[in-house]
Amino acid sequence: MTIKPRKAVIIGAGHVGSHVGSSLVLREVIDELVFIDIDEKKAAAHALDLNDSVSALSTNITVKTGGYNECANADVVVMAVGTQPVPGKKRLQMFDETIEMLQDVVPKLKASGFNGIVVSISNPADIVADYIRKRLGLPESHVFSTGTTLDTCRLKRILSEKTGYNRNSIQAYCMGEHGDSSMVPFSHVSFGGKSFEDMKNDFPDTFGKMDTQEIMACVRQGGFDIVNGKSCTEFGIGLAACEIVKAVLRDEKRVMPVSALLNGQYGQYGVSAGVPCVIGKDGVEEIIEISLTPEEKALFDHSCGVIRGYIEKADNRD
């Protein structure tokens, strides 16, 4: 038996790609990491910088730059090409520029013979995952995006700040588009297993005063607040994507709200949207269907409608 080193390739070594790489190395999730970027100088600098940190680890990890041939034997490709966010610019407004980059990247990735799992981050995340999936010809469960994973991190942070409960004791998901139409099924939010509704009834002066509309607005605004201060977001998505890659490489069967192709789940067909999924060595191994109230279902359907409109636009490209 031969033991194969775990290898990840990150395409797009910008703010996001470099931070995913840093998390993968510092958490010792992979054995080999390759950065690919049209800006070869920047990619090489990130690889060298990150390589220095390996000396302080107990694990020996190879970090380098390379060409698309490096994807041939990679276990995971992380797609992080794109442009830095601009204050006020919506994710959907990044559609044209990202598709243009993918028209360059995806044929090269396909030609490499890559046969692993794609974790895509580039925005607009749901549409990009669908675009890549259709063109790579890999099993549909092998290509997905981080979806509402980062939105869910923000949601848990906000709920924790408002209630004082540790984030790890809060069960909550953001679902739908990674963008302005995302929604939260508050009927499934719980604190140590006790539903939000029960908490509101038992603690009217604290939980009872929490405004779900305001919480949603804070979740949606979370990315913009960071972008307004430093013109990118990187730490949160870096670690969130790293956790997804870890769930794949270690076959963790961890439930995470990634953007997966819906084939009838939630009454939706042919659309990629953020839903709780079991992540393991085969990528999206199961889509978990939680029961939504009629109001929540209407919000989720609306979000899927927004994504579907752009998927149709993407289908008409190249």
Ligand X SMILES: NC(=O)c1ccc[n+]([C@@H]2O[C@H](COP(=O)([O-])OP(=O)(O)OC[C@H]3O[C@@H](n4cnc5c(N)ncnc54)[C@H](O)[C@@H]3O)[C@@H](O)[C@H]2O)c1
Per CB under 6 A, residues contacting ligand X are 11-17, 37-39, 42, 80-85, 94, 98, 101, 104-105, 121-123, 125, 146, 150, 178, 232-233, 237
Shortest distance, position 293 Cβ to ligand X, whole Å = 26
Catalytic pick from 46, 178, 188, 302?
Answer: 178
Respond yes or no: is residue 19 known to be catalytic.
Answer: no
Name the residue nearer to ligand X (CB basis): 94 or 304.
Answer: 94
What is the token pair recorded at 11?
A: 């395409």
First CA to last CA distance, the chain: 44
Q: How many helices (H) and strands (E) does the chain have?
A: 9, 12
Using alpha carbons, select from 128, 127, 20 the residue that is nearest to residue 76.
20
- Unique residue bearing structure tokens 């409960």: 165
Name the residue nearer to ligand X (CB basis): 82 or 276.
Answer: 82
Shortest distance, position 264 Cβ to ligand X, whole Å = 25
Shortest distance, position 259 Cβ to ligand X, whole Å = 9
- Unique residue bearing structure tokens 């870096």: 238
Instruction: Please tell me the distance from the alpha carbon of residue 15 to that of residue 51, in angstroms, as a whole number.
Output: 17
Name the residue nearer to ligand X (CB basis): 86 or 217.
Answer: 86
Shortest distance, position 13 Cβ to ligand X, whole Å = 5
Q: How far is CA 4 from CA 29, 253, 311, in A?
A: 14, 21, 37
- Name 255's bridge partners: 278
Name the residue nearer to ligand X (CB basis): 199 or 261.
Answer: 261
Known catalytic residues are 178
